[in-house]
Amino acid sequence: MDQNEGGSRSDALILATLNKDDSSVKMLSIPRDTYVYVPERDMNTKINHAHAYGGVKATIETVEEFLDIPVDYYVSMNFNAFIDVVETLNGINVNVEKEIQEQNSKDEPNAIHLQPGDQLLNGEEALAYARTRKIDNDIERGKRQQEIMKAIADKATSVKSVLKYDDLIEAVGDNMKTNMTFDEIKGLTSYLGNGKLNIETNILEGEDSYIDGVYYFQANEQSVANIQTELKNHLDLSNPAAQTTN
């Protein structure tokens, strides 16, 4: 997810793997300042720079290099698309852990003010909650983004929801880009529609570091290795028919 189209840096990066046999999903938030090798430029830098250097293609290549798994599909959306999705769902239920004051999608300072507690968030509020970095760190930010994604999936698959998935696709319009065909999207939503999707979240462990005065998130090598193994097992890479990565 990024603010604008074009050569901007990605604001949020989430990898999702789907195991079709048990309708399970594993999500991994990759902090945008993670220090990685970017093949597009043959250099090490922040992972969110990959999008600025070479768009979706460079981002996919970087993630594949970093996690040693194939990435078959992508969904890229700007802030407007994210807001439209939440609004189409008539809001999402989230437990806000801390009071926040954050800018909105138009970068107006302190336009969004949330108090702690369970509540229904609209599109602008959900975006602010997912983006804020003021109250903790990038690891916790990643957890919030996963919480938001789970809340969206829960609302979309709720038996009380009268939503048609076509409505979501129509709502985001040109604000979302993907390499999935319409039939592939319909096939994926069939897993969502059965209401039995099991979503598990993962966090990349690491520590803050500075290289030449520039801040980076330095991923723990053992954590990366463990996540690589977990994702490969989930994808069942020995069985190509079972693989779907997004």
Q: Check pLDDT > 70 for residue 239.
A: no
Could you give the domains of the chain? 1-74+179-246 (3.30.420.590), 76-175 (3.40.630.190)
Predicted pLDDT of residue 173: 80
Answer positive or negative: Cα dihedral of 224, 147, 126, 195.
positive
10 Å CB burial of residue 137 (0-12, 13-18, 19+) is: exposed
Determine whether 20 is exposed, middle or buried from the number of CB atoms within 10 Å of its CB (0-12, 13-18, 19+).
Answer: middle
pTM for the whole structure? 0.84
Tokens of 49: 């720079």
Residue 83 parent element (H or E):
helix 79-88
Band of pLDDT at residue 198, cut at 50, 70 and 90: confident
d(CA 56, CA 198): 27
CA 110/CA 177 separation, integer angstroms: 30
Q: What is residue 20's predicted lDDT score, i.e. its pLDDT?
A: 84
**Which of the residue ranges 22-26, 43-47, 75-79 has the most confident prediction, judged by mean pLDDT?**
43-47
Question: What SS3 state is found at 61?
Answer: helix
Mean pLDDT over 85-109 rounds to 93
Query: Is the confidence at residue 114, as pLDDT, over 80?
Result: yes
Q: How confident is the model at residue 155 (pLDDT cuts 50, 70, 90)?
A: confident
Res 215 pLDDT > 60? yes
Q: Is the pLDDT of residue 190 over 80?
A: no
pLDDT digits (tens, 9 = 90+) for 53-85: 999 999 999 999 999 999 999 999 899 999 999
Residue 137: per-residue pLDDT = 82
- Pick the closest to residue 83 from 144, 128, 135 (CA basis): 128
